[in-house]
Structure 1
Amino acid sequence: MASMGSSGFLIIPWLLLATSAALFSAGVSSGENTPAVFVFGDSILDTGNNNYLPTLSKCNFPPYGRNFPGGKPTGRFTDGKVISDLIAGDLGIKDLLPPYLDPNLGAQDLSTGVAFASAFLVTQASESLVELYKLGARKIGVFSTLVSGCVPEGRTVGGGEERKCAENFNELARIYNGKLSFEMDNLNKQLPGVKMVFVDLFSPLLGIIKDPETYGFAVTKEGCCGTGYIEAAVLCNQLSPFTCANTSEYIFWDSVHPTEKANRILVSKVRDSINELL
């Protein structure tokens, strides 16, 4: 990363839950050109690094990837493309962001961006941002937590028999987002020349969940895979019964991760904020 040491980085951490986070970084050489995207984080952004790690948290098997080009599972925790791919494509860099651990990675892949995404603790996020600042990052966008009480797994765990949104989980997310925004304000004051923007994803996703018909969704409480209540990673596989036939009706692919369609909507809703940093 030290080789990217210009003043025009775009660093976007995605703080998904209180126990995990992700980081999106796009090297920027000018206000109109974004030549590279680098992603650090968890399974929401991972493009396949877990394939090469000693972990049971893998998804390089059907039905994952069934709407991906070629219909093949790649290690992305959704039916198609993840947010990392979509942002890279939206910025005109590349259609797919390869995982850094892919042994077939070439020099051209590295020059235009890769995904380092795998989980790291949110308590390390602030320190990581400061460290990246020391390496030259100056334009930083920090995403809010998602609506953890309204993802299918959150409903199953804390939503009662009716599987409503677990409001205690959501309230914790709201409190956390407030503290996160406050921390960004402090870092803006402490780090000379840095521009940090807090990007709210909690509200847009909650809006989609509350008004799914507007966005063409029919199912909000369950994921597409299996029963949609708890299935994710190895629990979501080609033997999982009841997997849906039409992912376009679902906000969530499994019990945690949004579908590619939902990812595309979220990216469109935060693009203006990203543009502020370019």
Structure 2
Amino acid sequence: MGDFMGGKPTGRFSNGRVPSDFIGEGFGLKEILPAYLDPNLQLQDLLTGVCFASAGSGYDPLTTKSQSVLSLSDQLNLFKEYKSKITAVVRNERTATLLSKSLFVLSIGSNDLALNYFSTPLRSAHYDIPAYTDFLLELASNFFQVIFDKHQQFPHLFRELQELYALGERVIEVASMSPIGCVPAQRTLGGAIERACDETENQVAILFNSKLSALINSLNKRLPEAQLIYVDIYNPLLSIIQEPAQNVVDKGCCGTGTVEFGSLCNKDTPSTCNDASKYIFWDGLHPIETAYKILTYAILKQLS
């Protein structure tokens, strides 16, 4: 969390603002996007954007379970609650207009590989890499389809986007997986003594991203009223890592910089770096605010 908000925890896995904040700022809404579950949330916050994300979640239910975080279904239920709250204040017609002009951002999937498949035997013992990639794509496909198909293997996930679509969302940005093989924790686990990027993990991310992009294109042809936008974060983040301008790219600022993330990175963590601006990553998995800002500008260009 660094020095952001006076060193108080906000749920952001960084030393400052994250992409959701910069996206809100980019659209002229607010500099800080609050969490929907923030007890200090005000009506104006609801009307100008909130965050339902739960760090550590994934397409794979086992990823969510292993991290004890909110699933996609849980987040969707919070969105339903959110809609009810604003409807009670601004009425149905304005709520429908508000939601139809909103941007819904979904960034998920990297945890399925970094925290689940490559770090534990939860899935790797039962799936080889191609099979797990297909498994994730099937989960994503069932989440994103609108016309219910009883023959799908995971119909409960399929209904979630159907409900989301019915709740008024029309523009949905779907972020790709990141170059997970280049984050400090995965360099530690699979980068050998030189701590290089784990190219096997990066290739898996590339494979999944290509299939996800094709899926989004296919669904856009089937959903004339919706606009699903595939956003590449893999290449912009990789460019930041490969052109570090003498910044540290293979370790995070927090602690040893090798594996720590989440609750292991706070103001009480020993040996945290003195100048985070010299690093690309805040912890073992997540970039610092400056890197996130550059990445988000690349995202906004894709949305324009």
Instruction: Note the C-alpha offset of 1:177.
Output: 0.2
* 1:173-196 deviation line (CA, Å, top 9, x unaligned): 011001101110121122122222
Name the residue aligned to 2:252: 223
Secondary structure of 1:221's aligned partner: strand
Name the residue aligned to 1:155: 187
Determine if contact 2:7/2:267 at 8 Å carries over to the other structure: no
Q: How does 1:1-278 map to 2 (within 5 A)?
A: 64-66=1-3, 68-118=4-54, 119-122=56-59, 123=139, 125-126=143-144, 127=158, 128-213=160-245, 218-275=247-304
Between the aligned partners of 2:176 and 2:11, the Cα distance in structure 1 is 25
* 1:219-248 deviation line (CA, Å, top 9, x unaligned): 000000011001112222344332111111
Between the aligned partners of 1:85 and 1:138, the Cα distance in structure 2 is 21
Name the residue aligned to 1:46: none
Compare relative contact order (CA 8 Å, sep 6+) and give the higher one, 1 or 2.
1
Determine if contact 2:175/2:232 at 8 Å carries over to the other structure: yes
Unaligned runs of 5+ in 2: 60-138, 145-157
Between the aligned partners of 2:258 and 2:173, the Cα distance in structure 1 is 32
**TM-score, normalised via structure 2 length:** 0.64
Secondary structure of 2:229's aligned partner: strand
CA distance change for structure 1 residues 227 and 193 in 2, over 3 Å: closer, same or farther? same
CA distance change for structure 1 residues 121 and 233 in 2, over 3 Å: closer, same or farther? closer
Between the aligned partners of 2:252 and 2:178, the Cα distance in structure 1 is 16
Secondary structure of 2:185's aligned partner: helix
Q: CA RMSD in A?
A: 1.7
Instruction: Note the C-alpha offset of 1:95.
Output: 1.4
Instruction: Note the C-alpha offset of 1:130.
Output: 4.0
Q: Aligned residue pairs: how many?
A: 208
Between the aligned partners of 1:120 and 1:186, the Cα distance in structure 2 is 25
Amino acid at match of 2:237: L
Amino acid at match of 1:178: S
Between the aligned partners of 2:191 and 2:6, the Cα distance in structure 1 is 37
Q: Which is helix-richer, 1 or 2?
A: 2
Between the aligned partners of 1:130 and 1:273, the Cα distance in structure 2 is 25
Larger radius of gyration: 2
Name the residue aligned to 2:155: none
